[in-house]
Structure 1
């Protein structure tokens, strides 16, 4: 049974192990990485599968000792950096959640602002317009920040 918290998009998995989407698909087609559902795998499958691919590729490349050493070194580097990259992905997801939560709380307060009875009708109207505009700006900026956290690529 796979850990659902470990599931990531194949595009994110490719970035996690440091390869292009095309190379990721090649390794998956070769059977080293399991794609659990269209466009999704687990971080564990991506990392361990890519390491297996590099080891197998290294075994075939015995005649090319230099290439073998490069593959072994790259497999070691990938294993060593996976935890840091995965933590970065988790941090980005947590940051996105924080941005969304704060933006929703702020816009909710602004939209619920009712100054009627406390100030003149003209001032209350102007305050309501300013609050709506501020809420719209907050939503726009929250979207911009989330897009930046995602690398400007949407959902990955």
Structure 2
């Protein structure tokens, strides 16, 4: 239709895509979503096509939805970064290493205290009493150490200790 008067005021989908600098698929999508009108012959009025595309670009609801989706994506990425940082801190001192340090410390204390009753007194009753006190204290420290390691593993607060030891919030 070379002499068709509508050719000067209407566009094919391909022409509209070139004019709006989008793909033909995008033009069809804009038409499907109601931004662009469709004439019975499938052509698009030029002015209505441009106005419809401007309406699409200015559509507050669409932009708000896109903005909300972008915000959710940013939040998800931030959460992923926080998780990686938390994981990295765990890698700096694995719980198993903390447990080994506590075990080594208790072994050193136990070895150092083992000989003290004999150095303090030669009285068998006093020697026995001091030895029992050291034994009880070491048993309490061992139990507290195990409870603290378990708290580290589970993320629970540190248990109360008689000596007012470390408390984690």
TM-score scaled to structure 1, two decimals?
0.44
Larger radius of gyration: 2
TM-score scaled to structure 2, two decimals?
0.42
Q: Which structure has the higher relative contact order (CA within 8 Å, separation 6+)?
A: 1
